Structure 1
Amino acid sequence: MLTDHRSEAAAVVFLLDVDNTLLDNDRFGADLASTLDAAFGETERKRYWAIYEELRQLTGFADYLGALQRFRSGLDSDPSLLQMSHYLLEYPFAERLYPYALETVAHLRSLGTTAILSDGDVVFQPRKIQRAGLWQALRGEVLVYVHKQQMLVGMQQRYPAAHYVMVDDKPHILADMKRQLGRKLTTVFVQQGHYAAAASSETINPAPDITIACIGDLRRRKLEDFLPTAPVIRLAAD
């Protein structure tokens, strides 16, 4: 059951991205590519990803199921097509959690209200969160938007707080959120996945308040480390 937080303001709310923050979505993408290649061949695998990219440009989020729906054109008699839907919906995302992801979630929950704030579609992304065991770990505290940085008013209505902490692998999204919330938000940049790698040579303004190598680095941090009075810090991997 979802909790109604509107009547009580928390001191601090921790907001966690999912893909390449709590779980290795790049590994999932590689597994999906290999499965498509084995089932349909290289040409059809490339066609799927072309459809996927087209939909991503159109909708603004990753739509694996929508891409599969369009991919079916010309393949209706291929039994592998139905197996692909099963593959996506039953993919073992729990096996793709980064080391200490669940321990980190538990630790942050001991410090304050903690929720997922993710981009994605309304079917596959929640399914991924459930399959990974994150829905249960967060007790259903999950928000999924098309563009989360555009939904900060709704997020604050759902989770009123004196201060927020956003943990994400995309520094540009963190910077956008920081520009909107200012000192009310501490941004934590997790250097995991291809988005983080691509941003390594860029100048991000405003820069993240905290930069860590992996999500597990947060599991021993104190609440004071995340407050606006704390200095800008760079956390090393354990």
Structure 2
Amino acid sequence: MKNEMMERPVVQKELVTFMREGLKAFDGKLGEVEAYANERRIPIIPHETAVFLNLIVGQLKPKQVLEIGTAIGFSASLLAQHVGEDGHVTTIDRFDIMIERAKANFKKMGFEDRITLLEGDAADILPTLQGPYDLIFMDSAKSKYYEFFPYCMDLLKLGGMLIIDDVFQGGTILHDEKEIPKRVRKIHRRLNLLLDLVMDHPALETSLVPLGDGLLMIVKKEAFDFFSILEIEEN
């Protein structure tokens, strides 16, 4: 089932509809994968976010890209379009059904040699990666963003960009924790910890974009050991 927060847009519903229906559709097989996911409510980035990501990455032209959260391979394929024949996308996922579909889509689009799918939990895989990466796109378990963030900063090159999807939780990120259902309070706390950490950190250049359920965009200006200030709660 698609993330319920995607039914609570952080901008006017009419504007969301305008963007999703008005922005140009993707051509060819990438468009087919997007349509397939939307028809079956498979959780991929919404169209307005995908178009924005496509535009930004097209300008950045990264060579080494890391993605955390593959789903059926739509965003990894979008990213792979911009790395060139000498670039590479590494993506991580732990769900067998998604991995199977993603691999089929990579083959369908001819990206088998341009994308490596690492199977397993990102918490186990991230510490084993070497980097550096020019761009990292994180769209995985929201409760893990804060925990994964120091690894992303460690793997990202100076001047590289980290883009994190779904950080607004349908706007509830601003609510008092007592108003948040207990089942999602951990996500609420972790996302607020992340935002508090990155919004004005001197080693980072940070921006928020109200597309989809919110994009957090971070440029690594200086090296900093974020592991040293990480606050991980047990529950």
Per the normalisation by structure 1, the TM-score is: 0.38
Quick one: higher RCO (CA 8 Å, sep 6+), 1 or 2? 1
Return the index of the structure with the highest Cα Rg: 1
